[in-house]
A and B are shown apart, each in its own frame.
Chain A
């Protein structure tokens, strides 16, 4: 599994913010490099539960990303990261768009997998499929 990152993020608000910044900074590095704008689309007011810890809608790509960072005490595998496709209506009066959901126990091992998934989700011109996700999770 490697070292758990931001291990006490659910107990310490400062660590929680650092974990949030970890995802946000990585995501913005990708959107800056590709000149993509994004907005948030969920109400996470007063939430400090990692569910989700980060979310973003890319209007140009017409796709959304939601990252759930789970309690490290709930880890079931050495590299505990799951991903699937859902749908969301990020803005009223537009059709639902694909939403990549990543549910992860953040560690040195899962960090790389998560970043690989996010990079593919942001950069790919074509929509990813469940099969694509499986390949990215196993790579």
Chain B
């Protein structure tokens, strides 16, 4: 049976398809989301990173700016407009993600 809280962050386009994902029983915390984004950044080559530097920053700002988490299904695309499809995609496929630690503690208390 699949885990209730699932999602992924992907570096896509121009032949690249690298991703980090989560599948777990509890909502993903904002800190875990940022950590996954950093992990994805580390997976990219120099040229892949250069083409997505601003898009990674935008994805980071998006995650940091979330208040109280977001519920699935959510897809956010951060496109490098100088290219055809070079981008970072953030996808919450099931459950909730990017909860601040305080909200996560509350979630654990009530659920």
Which A residues contact B (CB, under 8 angstroms)? 41-43, 45, 51-52, 66, 68, 70, 74-77, 80, 82, 84, 86, 88-90, 92, 101, 103, 105
Residues of B contacting A42 with CB < 8 Å? 73-75
CB distance from A83 to the nearest CB of B (A): 8
Give the docked Cα–Cα distance between A86 and B77 (Å).
11
Q: Given the known A-B contacts A82-B84, A84-B13, A84-B84, are A68 and B79 also in contact in the complex, defined by CB atoms under 8 Å?
A: yes
Q: Given the known A-B contacts A84-B85, A101-B77, are A43 and B71 also in contact in the complex, defined by CB atoms under 8 Å?
A: yes
**Interface range for B:** 10 to 19
Residues of A contacting B13 with CB < 8 Å? 84
Residues of B contacting A43 with CB < 8 Å? 70-74, 92
Give the docked Cα–Cα distance between A42 and B93 (Å).
10
Residues of B contacting A75 with CB < 8 Å? 81
User: Which residues of B65-101 are within 8 A (CB) of A?
Assistant: 70-77, 79, 81-82, 84-85, 89, 92-94
CB distance from A80 to the nearest CB of B (A): 6
Please tell me if the beta carbons of B72 and A74 are within 8 angstroms of each other in the complex: no
Tell me the interface secondary structure of chain A in the complex. Answer: loop
Give the docked Cα–Cα distance between A95 and B90 (Å).
20
CB distance from A53 to the nearest CB of B (A): 12
Residues of A contacting B73 with CB < 8 Å? 41-43, 88-90
Please tell me if the beta carbons of B93 and A89 are within 8 angstroms of each other in the complex: yes
Please tell me if the beta carbons of B72 and A70 are within 8 angstroms of each other in the complex: no
Please tell me if the beta carbons of B75 and A88 are within 8 angstroms of each other in the complex: yes
24 A-B pairs in the complex with CB atoms less than 8 angstroms apart = A42-B74, A43-B71, A43-B92, A51-B76, A51-B77, A52-B77, A66-B75, A68-B77, A68-B79, A70-B79, A74-B81, A75-B81, A76-B82, A80-B81, A82-B81, A82-B85, A84-B13, A84-B85, A86-B89, A89-B73, A89-B93, A103-B77, A103-B81, A105-B81
Residues of A contacting B74 with CB < 8 Å? 42-43
CB distance from A136 to the nearest CB of B (A): 14
